[in-house]
Amino acid sequence: MRILIYAWEGIKIAFEALRSYKMRSLLTTLGIVIGVTTVITIVSLVQGLNKAFANQISAIGTDTLYISKMPWIIRSDKEWFSYRNRRNITVDYAKKIKQSATLVQAVSPVLMTRRSVKYAGTTAERVLVVGTNADHLITANALPEQGRFLMNSDVRHRKAVCVLGWDVAKALFTNVDPIGKRITVGGRKFKVIGVVEKKGSMFDFNMDNQVYIPIGIFQTAFGARWRSVDIQVKAISPAVIEDAEIELTGIMRRLRGLPPGKENDFAINKQSMLMDTYKNLTNVLWAVAIGVGAISLLVGGIGIMNILLVSVTERTREIGIRKAIGARKFDIMIQFLIESMMICALGVVIGLLVAIVVAKIIAATTPIPAAITLWIAALGIVFIVAIGLFFGIYPASKAARLNPIEALRYE
Amino acid sequence: MLIELKEIEKTYEIGTVQVPALKKINLTIAKNEYVAIMGPSGSGKSTLMNILGCLDTASGGVYSLNDNDVSAMTDDQLAEIRNREIGFVFQTFNLLPRANSLHNVELPLIYNGTPASQRKKMAQNALEKVGLADRMHHRPNELSGGQRQRVAIARALVNNPSIILADEPTGNLDSRTGEEIMEIFETLHEVGNTIILVTHEEYIAEHSNRIIRLRDGLIERDEAMN
Ligand SMILES: Nc1ncnc2c1ncn2[C@@H]1O[C@H](COP(=O)(O)OP(=O)(O)O)[C@@H](O)[C@H]1O
Ligand SMILES: [Mg+2]
């Protein structure tokens, strides 16, 4: 009860002081404002980036593994050259994996190239031609919107059929049903059997600018017998992804005839690798946020401490009066700590407002959905208390320790 | 006994120099006495008042207030004594410049945790006693010297202290206003308050029942008046 009464007195005094010295208080909060704005903007930026990135790579399922000669993340040229010399991965691995793996529901070998695609005088340039099998429907989530996807018999008999990506279909066929039409892919004739539904894009990669053909035809048509194949594997659920990776590693080592102790000469890629690399990147941003934030908050805090010391000196007589009348050390201490926290609060509130505006601008002008969430605002309150207390303690205790007689005599 | 000083000494140290301000003062003051302390400048009057008012502690001797030994108390205990037992009136008023009369008078009540509604009532009451009911919302710079001193007296009264201490309360006032202030002290004395005041004007001291004269930190004379 008692503490509430003089805490309220403290708040009134602090308001009075802030009002009397508007400009001084505002300038004092500048450091805090900059610190809070920086930290909160970067935090909201990182959160926005996280969201955007997760969105982008959601096309790579968390339940899918990609077996390849090369890992997705290569750190140096030297690594790259050593991976390049590895033996090729061949199409028949896919069949063997499908036969022996237990945690796997679909396996599709993949070869790709860019070719132009033509129909009745219309040409689509640089279309990604994907040679694969029927399982690609599942591993790449290539659901047919019209017609059907490749089937086992198409692949086995190397039929000259193709399935179009959404954008390819739109580019070549206006007002015409593409199903059953014969088109030219890289100089060869293929019959259209289906159109895959719109998939969107991942970063700059347009997943709808594709044509799917049986992998056997791909190899003969585009002279790719010597090229290493990538194998996409869909586990039976995201939960078993790690076990599936272990199982696949075992199968691959057996297929490659690797004796125990010898290193893997293939890579099993997955979404989390991209996520990890990305997180390393955002860690840099976090470090910048923490660094800049800490420095400006330190500067801001010292500013507050300085202004409070001035305030204590200016109000020496007032402190003397309060002590003569019965204020204890603690009462005076509280008064100045409250004032310190209120200056901080002013800075944090201004900083938050500026950060909200900055986040809105970022969200409006870039694809990053930066936003201030509730916990960021809560972080602001923690700032107020922590900085206000930390930098207020010294001036407040200086005020509390003043000798009442000397304070009363102060001119 | 309300106040009992035994062998009270106060020595100020300025660097290595020791300035004895009070030398073995023995003094008792009973409830409802009206005491004037007189003496030349530098004789130790303010030092004595500060010790009596628990603003300062003696370098030696024992001070008991209401039979409690004050000499051994901590700063915070002294603050509570000042709040509860002492009402101080200063020569320079010592009001908070930005607070109005009401808030200035409420101040001692804030530090003993009196709830706001009761506080306001008590402060209004005290201001009425000093004849300032119509100046509650004025700030010190909107009041005359005499009015300011009356606000200070109301502040000293508001907590019903055992002693009212006034160190040259009329020193900054003209003689007519001084007389008005002295009348207030007289009324306070009549209703049962204990008053100790410092002055060097004989006509001010004549309002009291007892005059203690200090010289060089010693009691030179201690006489009752009629
Ligand atoms: N804070 C102090 N430091 C040093 N000497 C002091 C201090 N206060 C008072 N004195 C000295 O103590 C003596 C008594 O002072 P004071 O009690 O103020 O006298 P009075 O009020 O009677 O004029 C004087 O010699 C004065 O100079
Ligand atoms: Mg004096």
Q: Output the DSSP codes for A163-209.
A: EE-HHHHHHH-SSS--TT-EEEETTEEEEEEEEEPP--EETTEETTS
Interface-testing mutation among A1, A11, A315, A325, with chain B (most B C-beta atoms within 10 A)? A325
CA distance A139 to A20: 69
- Cβ neighbours of A409 in B, within 8 Å: none
CA distance A149 to B54: 97
Q: What are phi and psi of A263, to 5 degrees?
A: -65, 155
What distance in Å separates residue B60's CA from the closest CA in chain A?
19
How far, in Å, from the CA of B171 to the mean position of ligand 2? 10
> What does DSSP assign to residue A57?
G
Strand order in the sheet with B210-215: B86-89, B163-167, B194-198, B34-38, B210-215, B218-224
State the complex-level ipTM.
0.95
What distance in Å separates residue B127's CA from the closest CA in chain A?
17
Angle between the N-to-C axes of helices B145-157 and B175-190, in degrees from 0 to 180, rounded to the nearest 10: 20
The verdict on a CB contact (< 8 Å) between A326 and B84 is yes
| Exposure on the CB side of residue A216, measured as CA atoms within 13 A | 13
The verdict on a CB contact (< 8 Å) between A325 and B76 is no
pTM of the predicted protein model:
0.74
What distance in Å separates residue B220's CA from the closest CA in chain A?
26
A137 Cα distance to chain centroid: 28
Find the Cα–Cα–Cα–Cα dihedral B57, B62, B64, B68, rounded to 10°: 90
Pairing of strands A188-196, A161-164: parallel
The total of other beta-carbon atoms located within 10 Å of residue A145's CB is 12
pLDDT in tens, chain A (411 residues): 677 887 888 888 888 888 888 888 888 888 888 888 888 888 888 888 888 888 777 777 789 999 999 898 888 888 888 888 899 999 999 999 999 999 999 999 999 999 999 998 899 999 999 999 999 999 998 999 999 999 999 999 999 999 999 999 999 998 889 999 999 999 999 999 999 999 888 877 889 999 999 999 999 998 777 889 999 999 999 899 999 999 999 999 999 999 998 999 999 999 888 888 888 888 888 888 888 888 888 888 898 899 999 999 999 999 999 999 999 999 999 989 998 888 888 888 888 899 889 888 988 888 777 777 788 778 777 877 888 899 999 999 999 999 999 999 887
Nearest to B199 by CA among B214, B218, B187, B184: B214
CA distance A392 to A55: 45
Total count of residues recorded for chain A: 411
**pLDDT at residue A127, rounded to an integer:** 95
Percent of chain B with pLDDT over 70: 100
- Atom 1 of ligand 1, residue of closest alpha carbon: B12
How far, in Å, from the CA of A405 to the mean position of ligand 1? 11
Distances (CA, A) of B6 to A149, A246, B46, B51, B71: 110, 92, 18, 12, 11
Which residue of B8, B12, B167 sits with most ligand 1 atoms within 8 Å of its CB, as the best mutation to test the pocket?
A: B12
Q: Which of A5, A6, A326 sits opposite B82 (nearest CB)?
A: A326
How far, in Å, from the CA of B54 to the mean position of ligand 1? 16
Which atom from ligand 1 is nearest to the alpha carbon of A409? 1
- Cβ neighbours of B108 in A, within 8 Å: 325-326
**pLDDT at residue B18, rounded to an integer:** 93
- Cβ neighbours of A9 in B, within 8 Å: 110
- Cβ neighbours of A14 in B, within 8 Å: none
Assess whether pLDDT exceeds 80 at residue B45: yes
How far, in Å, from the CA of B76 to the mean position of ligand 2? 25
- With a CB cutoff of 8 Å and minimum separation 6, the contacts of B205 are B36, B38, B199, B211
pLDDT in tens, B149-200: 999 999 999 999 999 999 999 999 999 999 999 999 999 999 999 999 999 8
B41 CB near ligand 1 (under 6 Å): yes
Residues of B engaging A, defined by a Cβ cutoff of 8 Å? 50, 53, 55-56, 75-76, 79-80, 82-84, 88, 90, 94-96, 98, 107-108, 110-116, 155
Output the DSSP codes for B79-144. Answer: HHHHHHHEEEE-TT----TTS-HHHHHHHHHHTTT--HHHHHHHHHHHHHHTT-GGGTT--GGGS-
Query: Which residues sit opposite B195 in a β-bridge?
Result: B34, B164
Determine the topology of domain B31-46+81-224 in CATH: Rossmann fold (3.40.50)
Helix (H) or strand (E) holding A161: strand A161-164
CA distance A230 to B201: 109
**pLDDT at residue A346, rounded to an integer:** 86
* Per-residue three-class SS string for A92-106: HHHHHHHHHCCCEEE
Assess whether pLDDT exceeds 90 at residue B139: yes
CA distance A310 to A301: 14
Residue of B nearest to A404 (CA): B55
CA distance A225 to B27: 117
B46 CB near ligand 1 (under 6 Å): yes
CA distance B115 to A9: 12
Ligand with minimal distance to B10 CA: 1
CA distance B70 to B72: 6
Q: Which of B79, B113, B114 sits opposite A323 (nearest CB)?
A: B79
**pLDDT at residue A376, rounded to an integer:** 75
- Cβ neighbours of B95 in A, within 8 Å: 321
The verdict on a CB contact (< 8 Å) between B96 and A321 is yes
Could you tell me the sign of the dihedral formed by the alpha carbons of B137, B143, B147, B151, in that order? positive
B39 CB near ligand 1 (under 6 Å): yes
**pLDDT at residue A134, rounded to an integer:** 95
The verdict on a CB contact (< 8 Å) between A326 and B90 is no
Mean pLDDT, all residues of chain B: 94
Residue A176 class from Cβ within 10 Å (0-12 exposed, 13-18 middle, 19+ buried)?
exposed
- Cβ neighbours of A322 in B, within 8 Å: 107, 111
Residues A408/B82, Cβ–Cβ less than 8 Å: no
Q: What are phi and psi of A120, to 5 degrees?
A: 45, 55
The total of other beta-carbon atoms located within 10 Å of residue B97's CB is 11
B64 Cα distance to chain centroid: 17
